[in-house]
Structure 1
Amino acid sequence: MKKLLMTVSCSAIGVVAHAQSSITLYGLIDNGVSYVSNNRVASGAGKSNVFASSSNIVGDRWGVTGAEDLGGGLQAIFKLENGFSGTNGGLQQGGRLFGRQAWVGMSSPLGTLTLGRQYDSVVDFLAPRSLAQSFLGGLEFMHPMDNDSFGNVSRLDNAVKFASIDYSGLKFGGLYAFSNKAGGFSDNRAFSGGASYSHGPFTVSAGYMRIDRPGDGSAGALDGSSTSGDATFRASTRQVWGMGGSYAIGPVTLGLVWSASRYRDTTAAYRGSTASLMPAGMPTDLTFNNYEANVRYLVTPSWVVAASYTLTDGRYSNTSTHAKPRWNQFNLMTAYSLSKRTDVYLMAEYQHVSGASGTIFDGAFIGGSGGPSATNAQFLASAGLRVRF
């Protein structure tokens, strides 16, 4: 990603003679055209659709990041990152100016400490083992309803995060996000931790996250306003954990990842931009176990092919219904780089859900499809262009 660098000598303003600052402006636009085989319309019927799409693989964004050398190995650092729609230019993340990330911190020879709106440790350490969080697959490959946060859909506000340096391949970190609520310290607060280890072609990762009363109001760790997109589920407790690994064999990288998500006393789940409510007066316990196998093949330095398969075993339980929905999703994509900053891609996904009848999960739903299917199957295909700057 080509970066615009501006270096300013702090001696010019009489601070520290040898201190320097750097500021980097960067961004990405991912736009395309998509086809979905079945979207449920207001009448309940299913209709196919061809539509202009954006952020098929990664979210459109622009941002600025910077660092100031304080001497002795210390740096003051910051990042401000805006999310927008490439099809209409509108703000994402509920209209926030810097809805993707907004933090400031310090880096040292031992690690970094940052404060602000940030990603949790599951996203930092575990999700990279999946094609759901990468420049190959991305948002359309994420697991059902992004139940394990692998799709980078949600961020945590009021967060304090530590990330270690690389200790001969070992990295670790943790995060705590405050509720900011007087008299309700644990109401909509979050904490997480994770680690990864790399040695030669092999990488293994693990992560954990817990949020108490996620999405309860807009002032806590997870913004629950209907337009923010942060709270994909409303529940009394949300927990995610898992582990995964990858192994590179020449131009081929093989990956396996497992994640488990637990939602206690769930009242709603977002499927697209619409909240599907649990039956009135029946808080529901939900569990998801996601098993993903993936492969990436660098055919040439400019041409890559990637594929993945995810099996998601679910449990849905309240006073009237006990169900075991199961999702099978197959994903395939190819991308060709026209330059270091520009590539074109073609991707396709097929999802089939069973055992979901009588629950809010009745009907397949692929991320980025625009909404659930009227049947238990859905197919989505996208072609697009990405430009980084």
Structure 2
Amino acid sequence: MKKSLIALAVLGSVAGIAHAQSTVTLYGIADVYVGSKKSGLNTKRTTVVDSGGFNGSRFGLTGSEDLGGGLKAVFKLEQGFNIDTGTQSVAGSAFGRQAYVGLAGGFGTVTFGNVWSSMDDVIGAGNGAFDAGAFAPLYSMSGSVHNTYVDRPRNAIKYASPSFGGLSGSFTYGMDENSAASQDVVDFQVGYAAGPVGVSLAYQVANNVTDTKRTLLNGSYDLGVAKLLATYGQVKTGAAKSTDAQFGVDLPLSSALTLSGSYAQTKDNAFLGDGKRTGFGIAAKYALSKRTFSYAGLVNVDTKNGAGTKTDKYNLYAVGMQHSF
């Protein structure tokens, strides 16, 4: 009897140690907004209740296990959803946003599966309007790097380095798993963040019949009273080329309220008809607690052809709320 009790005590102790060395966390974001939008020159405005005005709504599980010697096993399973309808944001997928397992240590982190691309790691670093999907103008411009890059290459291997005095980077290789054609996605990013300065460079190649190459350069400088933001990007597919530029500023008005805005434009080359898109976005964020904030904003984008004639228009203004858990 005593031996059984001792054995049970030892097993309970071991189980407690194993549990202490492993962690699993449930987390998520619920983001919804009410807005009015107009898409097209001769269309009527539409009132909408929509999901993900600031960040995409999602839930997920993430965790790690200490393997000893500074090495950890890591995993993440994340699903996006539309809070306005309750549907999946990536139809037909169980964990369409992220699904990976990997190893992390002093060398950095290596992950395998459905991961965010390296370009996605830094694409919003220089965006005004909080890089919010609804209000950052570059997301509303066709041909923009922000609107056409491969965010999740899938079937991917990704390496992310640790920070070396503020310098870090990552590399991603997404395999097409198709022996008949090469349609792999390869990209990398390097960035520096120390004190008030932030700079990042990303490059992506998506192989297809004509390779699509994307280059992105972001920068920011925090003055304390304001944070200055800038982005330059380029998309090339064969002879076709589009170029982005964006300038923005974040203005903290109080401990709870911040205002952010940006002006952006995208230009097509002669092969694409010399088209031009210009837009601006403004957003305000008010913290209600550590995990909940309200927001409001607007975005406007005008499209003109090479002759300077307006061919399209997009406009949205909205108010919303986000809660994280």
Structure-2-length-normalised TM-score: 0.88
SS of 1:95 mapped into structure 2: coil
In the alignment, which residue of structure 2 is the partner of 1:239? 213
1-structure distance, mates of 2:285, 2:211:
39
Match of 2:250 among 283, 296, 312: 296
RMSD between aligned residues: 2.5
**One-letter amino acid matched to 2:218:** G
Cross-structure match for 2:170: 173
Q: Tell whether 2:207 aligns with 1:212.
A: yes
Helix, strand or coil for the counterpart of 2:44? strand
Q: Any conservation in 2 of the 1:303–1:337 contact (CA below 8 Å)?
A: yes
1:201-232 deviation digits (Å, cap 9, x = unpaired): 0111101000112xxxxxxxxxxxxxxxxxxx
Matches within 5 A, 1:274-313: 285-313=239-267
Q: Using the alignment, how far apart are the partners of 1:47 and 1:17 within structure 2?
A: 60
* Aligned position for 2:186: 191
Secondary structure of the 2:25 match is strand
CA distance in 2, matches of 1:94, 1:176: 24
2:312 aligns with: 376
Q: Deviations over 1:104-159 (max 9, x none)?
A: 11001010000111111111134322237x5x533431521373146988311011
Mark the CA change 1:179 to 1:253 in structure 2 (over 3 Å): closer, same or farther.
Answer: same
Give CA-to-partner distance per residue, 1:179-206, whole Å, 9 cap, x none.
111243xx22011111001221011110
Question: For residues 226-284 of structure 1, what are the alpha-carbon distances to aligned partners after superposition, in whole Å with 9 as ceiling and x for unaligned?
Answer: xxxxxxxxx632111121210001141111110111123xxxxxxxxxxxxxxxxxxxx
Partner residue in 2 for 1:4: none
Distance 1:36 1:324 in 2: 27
**What does residue 3 of structure 2 align with?**
none
Q: Aligned residue for 2:15?
A: 12
Partners of 2:144 and 2:266 within 8 A in 1: no
- Mapping 1:1-389, distance limit 5 Å: 11-12=14-15, 20-39=21-40, 45-131=42-128, 134=130, 136-143=131-138, 144-145=141-142, 147-149=144-146, 154-184=151-181, 187-213=182-208, 236-264=210-238, 285-315=239-269, 317=271, 323-355=273-305, 375-389=311-325
In terms of fraction of residues, the more helix-rich structure is: 2
Give, in whole Å, the separation in 2 of the partners of 1:246 and 1:190.
Answer: 28
Q: Distance in 2 between matches of 1:198 and 1:91?
A: 35
The structure-2 alpha-carbon separation of the partners of 1:252 and 1:70, relative to structure 1 and needing over 3 Å to count, comes to same
Residues 292, 321 of structure 2: 8 Å contact kept: yes
Give secondary structure in 2 for the equivalent of 1:123: helix
* CA–CA separation in structure 2 for the residues paired with 1:47 and 1:126: 32
CA contact (8 A) 2:120 2:151 kept: no
Structure 2: segments with no counterpart, 5+ residues: 1-11
Indicate conservation of the 8 Å contact 1:239/1:261, yes or no.
yes
Cα-to-partner distance string for 1:288-332 (whole Å, 9 max, x where unaligned): 111010111111111110000111111363xxxx51111111110
Distance in 2 (alpha carbons) for counterparts of 1:23 and 1:81: 13
Letter in 1 for 2:114: R
Distance of 2:296 and 2:74 partners within structure 1: 37
> In the alignment, which residue of structure 1 is the partner of 2:6?
none
Aligned-partner residue type, residue 29 of structure 2 = L
Q: Distance in 2 between matches of 1:179 and 1:37?
A: 37
SS at match of 2:154: strand
Distance 1:140 1:18 in 2: 43
In 2: Cα distance, 1:126 partner to 1:378 partner: 22
Asked if structure 2 preserves the Cα contact closer than 8 Å seen for 1:10 and 1:20, the reply is no
Post-superposition CA distance 1:315-370 (Å, at most 9, x none): 363xxxx511111111101011111111111110111111168xxxx97xxxxxxx
Residue range with higher mean Cα deviation, 66-75 or 136-145: 136-145
Per the alignment, residue 280 of structure 1 pairs with none
Q: Runs of 5+ in structure 1 lacking a partner?
A: 1-8, 214-234, 265-284, 364-374
Contact 1:123 / 1:150 at 8 angstroms: preserved in 2?
Answer: no
Task: Look up the equivalent residue of 1:331 and give its one-letter code.
Answer: G
Corresponding residue of 1:276: none
Instruction: Determine if contact 1:142/1:150 at 8 Å carries over to the other structure.
Output: no
Pick closer, same or farther for the CA change 1:384–1:10 going to 2, 3 Å.
farther
Give the CA deviation at 1:377.
Answer: 2.7
Pair 1:61–1:291, CA change in 2 (3 A): same
Letter in 1 for 2:291: R
In the alignment, the residues of structure 2 paired with residue 384 and residue 295 of structure 1 have an alpha-carbon distance, to the nearest angstrom, of 21
Aligned 8 A contact 2:58 2:80 in 1: yes
Q: TM-score, normalised by structure 1?
A: 0.74
SS in 2 for 1:122: helix
Q: Choose 1 or 2 for highest CA Rg.
A: 2
**What is the distance in 1 between the residues matched to 2:291 and 2:183?**
39
CA shift, 1:39, in A, is 4.3
